[in-house]
Amino acid sequence: MDIAQARKERIDRGIKVRSDGLYALMSLKELSYLTLPRFLLIAGMLSLPFLMPGMYWQRVISIVCIYSLLALSFDFLAHYVGLVCLGGAFFIGMGGYIAGILNTYFGLPPVLTIPLATIIGGALSTFLLLPCLPLKGVYFAIVTLMYPLFMARIIEAFDIFGGTDGIIGIDSFSNHWVEQYVVIGVVLGFVFGLRRLVNMDIGLIFTAIMDNDQAVKASGINITLYRALAVFIASSMGCLGGACITHIYMWSGISQFALDFSILPIAATVIGGAGTLVGPVLGCLILVPVSELLRDFGTLRIVFYAVILVAFILFKSEGIMEFVQRKYEQFERWTKI
């Protein structure tokens, strides 16, 4: 707790200030300053399937993307709508089972089952979560945590949809390139789509509901409706991920309701940078491969996650993305007080 004699100033880089204005359209340098990070993300994601050695790691990339979808939906709900959602497993399970049912019982191809599972799963999840939407506080988190357990036990107890064996014999994607580019495209689409959404009027309402729901109500806005809309967006993303996972593994079963799907996205969001909507994807890109590398250690992997999570919260709770963004936009220098 020393008392400073000099302090480090943080000052925006000149190029950042210039590229905020019209100047960005007139100079290639400023233009590339703005587009380079976005280009890096898009190009990096698109080239990932080529860079991976062998089928096993290409499959890992698909899983990374599915976790990214969950992490994005968590980040969106937690930091732009103010709902802490522990329901990753619930959404994956809903989407997975709906896609499986549509494919095996009704014979629809993946081209139809995935969009249908997204919409129907999102709507069903929103409907089931509706009762706790007008409430403030911890209820939403508790209910979303309980539903996957509830669903898994119901399927097990009534022996429906294949019971503990799950639904087998589901169609796969036509080949692994299609599989990977579908999930990568979906993730990129949602990253940029959500970043746009939160800056639009509706995003403003979401953020306002998070800050002070009573004041929003007083402005004549039905907050339950908007919360339901936000939950629909987020749960659709999760269900989309679930539908993809079902077609990737050609199987849907109660392990899709496993709590891993709820916990890992949260860890990824913390590591990547909460509230940035890109950070969660970066977090998944780090955490999921690491967890694959640690597969030999079995359930000790969880210990490893926990250590990473605690370390990040203690030492760098802003997350990677915030840190990198600050370094990119600002420089520091010492000044005497």
Q: Which residues bind other proteins (CB under 8 A)?
A: 1-5, 7-11, 314, 316-319, 322-323, 326, 337
Using DSSP, state whether 334 is helix, strand or coil: strand
What is the rounded distance in angstroms from the CA atom of residue 19 to the CA atom of residue 291? 39
What is the rounded distance in angstroms from the CA atom of residue 119 to the CA atom of residue 168? 23
What is the rounded distance in angstroms from the CA atom of residue 243 to the CA atom of residue 98? 7
Token pair in block for residue 48: 């990932």
Supply the minimum distance, in Å, between the C-beta of residue 297 and other proteins: 30
CB 225 within 8 A of CB 218: no
Token pair in block for residue 251: 């199987």
Supply the minimum distance, in Å, between the C-beta of residue 322 and other proteins: 6
Chain centre to alpha carbon of residue 40: 19
For residue 335, the one-letter residue type is T
Q: Of 241 and 273, which CB lies nearer to other proteins in the complex structure?
A: 273
CB 198 within 8 A of CB 206: yes
Residue 120, judged by CB atoms within 10 A of its CB (0-12, 13-18, 19+), counts as buried
Token pair in block for residue 202: 């509706």
What is the rounded distance in angstroms from the CA atom of residue 125 to the CA atom of residue 194? 20
Supply the minimum distance, in Å, between the C-beta of residue 325 and other proteins: 11
Supply the minimum distance, in Å, between the C-beta of residue 32 and other proteins: 27
Supply the minimum distance, in Å, between the C-beta of residue 281 and other proteins: 19
Supply the minimum distance, in Å, between the C-beta of residue 133 and other proteins: 25
Q: Of 4 and 157, which CB lies nearer to other proteins in the complex structure?
A: 4
Residue 157, judged by CB atoms within 10 A of its CB (0-12, 13-18, 19+), counts as exposed
Q: Of 12 and 156, which CB lies nearer to other proteins in the complex structure?
A: 12
Q: Of 260 and 318, which CB lies nearer to other proteins in the complex structure?
A: 318
CB 247 within 8 A of CB 171: yes
Chain centre to alpha carbon of residue 185: 14
Supply the minimum distance, in Å, between the C-beta of residue 41 and other proteins: 21
